[in-house]
Amino acid sequence: MTGWRALFYKEVLRFWKVGFQTVGAPVLTSVLYLLIFGHVLEDHVKVFDGVSYTAFLIPGLVMMSVLQNAFANSSSSMVQSKIMGNLVFLLLTPLSHWSWFFAYTLSAVVRGMAVGLGVLLATALFVWQSSVLNFSLLPQEPLWALVFAFTGAAMLGALGLIAGLWAEKFDQMAAFQNFIIMPMTFLSGVFYSIHSLPDFWQRVSHLNPFFYMIDGFRYGFFGQSDVSPWLSLGVVGVSLCIISAVAVNLLRIGFKIRG
């Protein structure tokens, strides 16, 4: 697997050079969500026992940022390179499809984690401010939190790669993001506990792999969750494998990038 490190480093540097836009902006967005939803819903929504709504919201927002930004990184990089034509510099190299896959996916993980960490640090301000919050920045089960952040980000990075290969125009990419990624993340239990939903919607939520990522990640913080973290890990792991297999195969056949 030669040369993949150069591509990985390039992909990381690409978003880091415009970090204000790729890391700063999504952190601000999440803080706004926290301010508004936390303020409006704090006294009205009941989630886990002994966990305030704002505290419940923080890991959800962190994970949502991780997922959305991992997707944004690989998808926008790929679609931009295709449209600008500079993908040819990669197509002319001996880089294997595995190299492409690991470089794009892992750089997406780095971006997702960087934004997630940013959101977590920004929310630390609220934790200091509020005496009622009772939320520790340090997850109770850090390994679980890390495992879900990594696998979730990797899955969204691979999904972004697929979307980037598929999309031929920026509006197709926007459609993928707005009609698939956004609804699946918003309906995954970032803002509410699945148990508060009517029976039917609870069952629908259980079909959404994003739900397991959020729920598993939240388990890492509170040691409690809607479903067992092992079940979540299983669902996320299988989803990651399937999506990775699709992405690697599209790269192998040069789907929409080699004529």
Partner 1 sequence: MPAISFQSVSKTFQTARGPFQALDGVSFDIEQGEFFGLLGPNGAGKTTLISILAGLSKATSGSVSVLGIDVNTQAADARRVLGVVPQELVFDPFFNVREALQFQSGYFDVKNNDAWIDELLESLGLSDKANHNMRQLSGGMKRRMLVAQALVHKPPVIVLDEPTAGVDVELRQTLWQFIAKLNKLGHTVLLTTHYLEEAEALCQRIAMLKNGKVVALDRTDELLKAASSNVLRFKLDAALPPALAAKARVTGRIVQLPAHDALEIERHLAALREAGLNAEDVEIRKADLEDVFLDVMHANTPQETV
Per-residue x/- marks for partner 1, 74-93, CB under 8 A? -------x--xxx-xxxxxx
User: Contact, 227 vs 201, CB < 8 A?
Assistant: no
Residues 90-109 that bind partner 1 (CB under 8 A): 90-96
Q: Which stretch binds partner 1 (CB under 8 A): 10-18, 134-142, 152-160, 212-220?
A: 10-18
**DSSP output for 168-209:** SSHHHHHHHIIIIIHHHHHTTTSSS-GGGS-HHHHHHHTT-H
Which CB, 98 or 186, lies closer to partner 1? Answer: 98
User: Contact, 256 vs 173, CB < 8 A?
Assistant: no
User: Contact, 241 vs 169, CB < 8 A?
Assistant: no
Report, in Å, the least distance between residue 226 CB and partner 1.
41
Number of helical (H) and strand (E) elements in the chain, helices listed first: 12, 0
**74: CB partners within 8 A, 6+ apart:** 11, 104, 105, 107, 108, 157, 158, 160, 161, 164
Which CB, 14 or 206, lies closer to partner 1? Answer: 14
Per-residue x/- marks for partner 1, 16-55, CB under 8 A? -xx-------------------------------------
Amino acid type, 116: G
* Binding-residue total with partner 1 (CB under 8 A): 26
Report, in Å, the least distance between residue 255 CB and partner 1.
13
CA distance readout (Å), 177 to 44, 47, 171, 183: 31, 29, 10, 9
Report, in Å, the least distance between residue 72 CB and partner 1.
15
Report, in Å, the least distance between residue 91 CB and partner 1.
6
Name the site residues for partner 1 (rule: CB under 8 A). Answer: 2-3, 5-7, 9-10, 13-14, 17-18, 81, 84-86, 88-96, 258-259
